[in-house]
Amino acid sequence: MTKQLSIVSIAGARPNFMKIGPLAKALAHYPSVEHRLVHTGQHYDQNMSDLFFRDLGLPKPWRNLEVGSGNHATQTAEIMTRFDRVMEEAPADLVVVVGDVNSTIACALVAAKRGIPVAHVEAGLRSYDRSMPEEINRLLTDAISDVLLVSEPSGVDNLRREGVPDDRVHLVGNVMIDTLLSSREKARTSMIHATLGIAHGAYGVVTLHRPSNVDDPAVMRELVGVLGEIARSLPLVFPVHPRTSARLKSQGVELRREAGFLVTDPLGYLDFLALMEGARIILTDSGGIQEEACILEVPCLTLRENTERPVTVSSGWNDLVGRDPEKIRGAAKRALSGQTSAKSRPALWDGRAGERIAEILVRRYGS
Ligand code: UD1
């Protein structure tokens, strides 16, 4: 009889949910695998979490640790304490973590200390900017993971440079793109355009939530200023992250419809996908949206000085414009006038990354 392989996977914050879905689906094809999903509760609002479970048809979490918000130390420590208790009660043979959020490092650390192997999905990405909390999470998670599942070639190079043996590193493609490709048809039935009163191809989409862009009032005001200039000729739909919403409110900044801004609460996955697909341009500081834009073939301006996802730039769809208003203005003008460079789709972003990962994990850890 084949031994059961007990796998616990971790999802905590919004960008994790679309990465767990394809893996859960692929693992369900292996009768020898018992898969339990743990939600840490890092994100807990209806529209930062519940909507994603509904839209993506994710399995109901086996446990929700309900940690909620807090500063980095508190949040990370609280996740560790609660996840450790869970692993004490009901251990696993393998813990799978995804991405780079506080839930990722917290659960990887608990597993590693307990001698449970850790698999990291989206390993190897580096912005080389340690002022980003996510960069610290990425470095530390990779350092204690046993198997590193990488979405783009730069990740393989980075891990090799850091001395990770080749037999632990697998280039598998991008699980988030699995979700995008399998959700695209369904997203086309979204009513978001009618709800917002906008037509396909007649607007841009903005998201901003990085501390480096929204926590410093001067930086935030400058960005809002240049976005306002663009919004005068092209309405900008702006689903506002809770962090950004709090900062805008405390600074008394209002983004008005008459000024070209269509502000919404954070949207569910399908509505947001539909919005991106119909956009002429996307302006963002998100990691994942840079990747999604490449597949949706919408020009993306990344409002950051660096990216841990350089393949999005070499694919021709992403322009790293930073925070300089002059650069943002110029790049927006070029993108909107259709001045384009050669474009390509990153290798292995084909909708099958989840299957590849499941196959590798079962081969390595199943018996
Ligand atoms: C986290 C991730 C970031 C990811 C982002 C996507 C880390 C270090 N950062 O950042 O990589 O891109 O999620 O959203 O893990 N809040 C709510 N409701 C929620 C969740 C958060 O109101 O459901 C508010 C809280 O006031 C909280 C703030 O948003 O203090 C920030 O949330 P937090 O999870 O700490 O980090 P994010 O900025 O969301």
- For residue 239, how far is its CA from the centre of ligand 1 (angstroms)? 14
Homologous superfamily of 5-174+349-365 = Glycogen Phosphorylase B; (3.40.50.2000)
> Does 147 have pLDDT greater than 60?
yes
Residue 48 Cα: closest atom of ligand 1: 23
How far CA 28 is from CA of 32, 174, 359, in Å, comes to 9, 19, 12
Residue 133 Cα: closest atom of ligand 1: 8
Query: How open is the CA angle 311-21-157, to the nearest 5 degrees?
Result: 25
CB-based contact 38:62 (threshold 8 Å): yes
Cα(359)–Cα(29) distance, integer angstroms: 10
> Does 285 have pLDDT greater than 80?
yes
Quote the pLDDT of residue 2. 58
Which pTM does this prediction carry? 0.97
Quote the pLDDT of residue 362. 98
CB-based contact 98:122 (threshold 8 Å): yes
Look-up: residue for tokens 């290798």? Answer: 347
Cα(220)–Cα(312) distance, integer angstroms: 25
Homologous superfamily of 184-336 = Glycogen Phosphorylase B; (3.40.50.2000)
Quote the pLDDT of residue 266. 97
Catalytic hit among 35, 170, 209, 241 = 209
Quote the pLDDT of residue 160. 98
> Does 43 have pLDDT greater than 80?
yes
Kindly report, residue by residue over 161-214, the tens digit of the pLDDT.
999 999 999 999 999 999 999 999 999 999 999 999 999 999 999 999 999 999
Q: Mark whether 200 is an active-site residue.
A: no
Closest protein CA for atom 30 of ligand 1:
69
Residue 102 Cα: closest atom of ligand 1: 15
- For residue 164, how far is its CA from the centre of ligand 1 (angstroms)? 30
CB-based contact 179:352 (threshold 8 Å): no
* β-pairing verdict for 300-302 and 318-320: parallel
Count CB neighbours of 318 within 10 A: 24
Residue 49 Cα: closest atom of ligand 1: 23
Do the domains at 5-174+349-365 and 184-336 have one common CATH topology?
yes
What is the mean predicted confidence (pLDDT) over 281-297?
97
Among 147, 87, 92, 98, smallest CA distance to 118 is for 147
- For residue 13, how far is its CA from the centre of ligand 1 (angstroms)? 7
CA 44 vs. chain centroid, Å, equals: 16
Cα(14)–Cα(41) distance, integer angstroms: 10
Close Cβ partners of 356 (under 8 Å, ≥ 6 residues apart) = 170, 172, 173, 348
Quote the pLDDT of residue 341. 77
Q: Which residues line ligand 1 (CB under 6 A)?
A: 13-15, 42-45, 48, 69, 100-102, 133-134, 209, 241-243
Close Cβ partners of 123 (under 8 Å, ≥ 6 residues apart) = 138, 141, 142, 145, 148, 149, 150, 155, 159, 169
Look-up: residue for tokens 């993108």? Answer: 335
> Does 218 have pLDDT greater than 90?
yes
Any idea where the domains of the chain sit in the sequence? 5-174+349-365, 184-336
Structure tokens at 127: 């912005």
Three-state secondary structure along the chain?
CCCCEEEEEEECCHHHHHHHHHHHHHHCCCCCEEEEEEECCCCCCHHHHHHHHHHHCCCCCCEECCCCCCCHHHHHHHHHHHHHHHHHHCCCCEEEEECCCHHHHHHHHHHHHCCCCEEEEEECCCCCCCCCHHHHHHHHHHHCCCEEEECCHHHHHHHHHCCCCHHHEEECCCHHHHHHHHHHHHHCCCCHHHHHCCCCCCCEEEECCCHHHHCCHHHHHHHHHHHHHHHHHCCEEEECCHHHHHHHHHCCCCCCHHHCEEEECCCCHHHHHHHHHCCCEEEECCCHHHHHHHHHCCCEEECCCCCCCCHHHHCCCEEECCCCHHHHHHHHHHHHCCCCCCCCCCCCCCCCHHHHHHHHHHHHHCC
Radius of gyration of the chain (CA): 20
Kindly report, residue by residue over 52-109, the tens digit of the pLDDT.
999 999 999 999 999 999 999 999 999 999 999 999 999 999 999 999 999 999 999 9
Mean pLDDT of the chain: 96
Closest protein CA for atom 25 of ligand 1:
69
**Which residues does residue 261 pair with via DSSP β-bridges, in sequence order?**
236
- For residue 360, how far is its CA from the centre of ligand 1 (angstroms)? 31
Query: How open is the CA angle 220-248-244, to the nearest 5 degrees?
Result: 80
Structure tokens at 31: 């009768």
